[in-house]
Amino acid sequence: MVEELHMLGEEFRSKFSVHHLQELAYQTGMIQRKRKFQAQDLVSLCVFLGQTISSESLACLCTRLNEATGICISAEALNKRWNERTVQFLKELFLHAFRQKICPITSLSSRFTRIRILDSTSFQLPSSYASTYRGSGGGSSESGVKIQLEYDLLSGEFMELEVDHGVSSDAKYGQKRTKTLEAGDLALRDLGYHYIGDLEHITESEAYYISRIRWNTQVYQKEEDGSWTLLNIEALTKDLQEGETLELPEVYIGLEYKHRTRLILYRLTQDEWDKRLAHHKKMKKKMPKAASRVNLLVTNTSPEKLPATEVYAFYSLRWQVEVLFKTWKSVFRIHAIKPMKLERFQCHLYGQLLRLCLVASTTYQMRRLLWEKHQKETSEFKCAYMVQIYLVRIHTVLFCTFQHPVSVLSRLFQDVSKNGKKARRYQKATPFEILGLIEKSTAQLPIAHKICDRRKLYLSMPKM
């Protein structure tokens, strides 16, 4: 364990070595001559000392910097530091730290090489940023930002992170990421990224997918004479009970281009349905109640590799990236922006993204070590919260005492081990249970399983 924590400490030292920061500052033009305000001081303020750049006054930020580093500058001097060169420095530092991996990543065991979850989060910005970050307008702000993230659940690695306009297309970004899939990968996609052409490309790449499809998607079965029969999904799911699945092992989806796939229909439990209806009401979404009670999932995995009763559970792993986004907003307050200079906001954004990557990487390593050494499953949210608290002490050993952070990481590991236990929700499987690393709880409800192979049942249209 000490060796793994030492390697994690080396990763911190490598990413934030004073020499590297100074070189990068000169390369980007952030620092052009010797000053008392150095590159590491900016990194201290933007990355390690909290998420206050977007909410506190310049005077308060100067006080925080002086207390932590001993560097005393005026509010006006700090305001001048928020410029295009500083933004470029933080952006380059973020890209460097994002790509550089020293601590070896050992993936959790699974029947898939990687489980790649693609999703996005967005938030509104002051309307003065509209020329740089377009928003949807109307009842929302004229300015907004969207952060696209692809996350590998098994290794805890951020595979890609991109900042874009608030109205950028999820589907187009998903098509770009589909080209990077490799054999053995499993892609979990939400409705916003659904594109039938992507599903065909994933299959050709010998990768796998589990994707939701819209309730009004055209679903066909092919008859022996080559004709197509359109299925009535509402009639098929009418008699399903709560938590029950219905499998159609070979169907074709799409109106013009028909993609061959496997369809799993899952009827939500009452609690799941209530939450969905509440979400639809909040988002002002209109959808027939019968359709909102059923999830339509398609996958190209074989029944031997992933039985129908496990498809919905594996798809629910996509929620792990939502836990990350919840951490970003509730703990790091990345979306809490008051009107300020555009460059100051961009420094806040890239500084916090760098902070988030550090927390996510450290959280994964702590959770993996606890599982390997003590067979304990820890809470992602609790662990991330603890890690961000310890970042201040890690900053001290990196930039003030110039010691190795292994002692701080050891204390963090003890704290997570003692107080980071994952709470078990009634009748809900944990990610480790879904992945098969530990036995499922006896409180887990049994799920009935049906296979529909009577091809002429519940037809809505004559043969075409």
Token pair in block for residue 8: 């994690």
156 HSE (CA, 13 A, CB side): 23
Residue 155's closest CA among 185, 124, 177, 125?
Answer: 185
Under 8 Å CB-to-CB from 302, ≥6 apart: which residues? none
Say if residue 284's pLDDT is above 90: no
More confident residue, 289 or 115: 115
Residue span of the structural domain in which 14 resides: 2-102+348-419
CA distance 435 to 316: 11
Tokens 């606890």 map to which residue?
370
Look at 115-119, 368-372, 386-390 and tell me which has the smallest mean pLDDT.
368-372
Average pLDDT over residues 283-296: 77
Total structural domains within the chain: 1
Q: What local confidence, expressed as pLDDT, does residue 211 receive?
A: 92
Q: Does the pLDDT at position 456 exceed 60?
A: no
Please tell me the predicted confidence (pLDDT) of residue 445.
37
Q: What's the gap between Cα 361 and its chain centre?
A: 13
Q: Is residue 280 part of a domain?
A: no
Q: Give the model's pLDDT for residue 441.
A: 43
What distance in Å separates the CA atoms of residue 51 and residue 8, rounded to the nearest whole number? 23
Give the pLDDT mean for 19-39. 86
What is the mean predicted confidence (pLDDT) over 65-76? 88
Q: Quick check: 123 and 144 in contact, CB under 8 A?
A: yes
At 57, list the tokens.
Answer: 């006054």
Please state, for a pLDDT cut of 70, what percent of the chain lies above it: 89
Q: Which two tokens stand for residue 190?
A: 């939400």
Q: What is the mean pLDDT of residues 313-329?
A: 87
Please state, in angstroms and rounded to a whole number, the distance separating the CA atoms of residues 52 and 394.
Answer: 18
For the stretch 237-252, what's the b/e string if a residue is b when 16 or more beta carbons lie within 10 angstroms of its beta carbon?
A: beebeebbbbbbeebb
Q: What is the pLDDT of residue 177?
A: 93
Inform me whether the pLDDT recorded for 401 exceeds 50.
Answer: yes
Give the separation between CA 425 and CA 195, rounded to whole angstroms.
Answer: 34
pLDDT band, residue 83 (cuts 50/70/90)? very high
Residue 273 domain-assigned (yes or no): no
pLDDT over 80 at 453, yes or no: no
Look at 290-294, 330-334, 338-342 and tell me which has the smallest mean pLDDT.
290-294
334-363 pLDDT tens trace: 888 888 899 999 999 999 999 988 888 888
The pLDDT score that the predictor gives to residue 452 is 54
3: which residues sit within 8 A by CB, 6+ positions away? none
* Cβ–Cβ under 8 Å, residues 110 and 188: no
Asked if residue 433 is part of any domain, the answer here is no
The yes-or-no verdict on residue 163 having pLDDT over 60 is yes
Q: For residues 460 and 287, which has the higher predicted lDDT (pLDDT)?
A: 287
Looking at the domain assignment, is residue 380 inside a domain? Answer: yes
pLDDT at position 342: 92
Burial of 163 (0-12, 13-18, 19+ CB in 10 A): middle
395 lies in some domain: yes
Q: Is the pLDDT of residue 443 over 70?
A: no
Is it the case that residue 27 has pLDDT exceeding 50?
A: yes
**Averaged over 48-60, what is the pLDDT?**
81
Answer yes or no: is pLDDT of 63 > 60: yes
Using CA atoms, how far apart are residues 364 and 157, in angstroms rounded to an integer?
8
- The whole-number pLDDT of residue 449 equals 47
pLDDT tens per residue, range 184-242:
999 998 888 888 889 999 999 999 999 988 888 889 988 888 888 888 888 888 888 88
Percent of the chain with pLDDT strictly greater than 90: 27
Burial class (CB in 10 A: 0-12, 13-18, 19+), 173: buried
User: Considering the domain boundaries, does residue 72 fall inside one?
Assistant: yes
The reply to whether 11 falls in a domain is yes
The mean of the pLDDT values for the chain is 84
Residue 377 within a domain: yes
> How many Å is the Cα radius of gyration of the chain?
25
Is 122 or 277 the better-scoring residue by pLDDT? 122
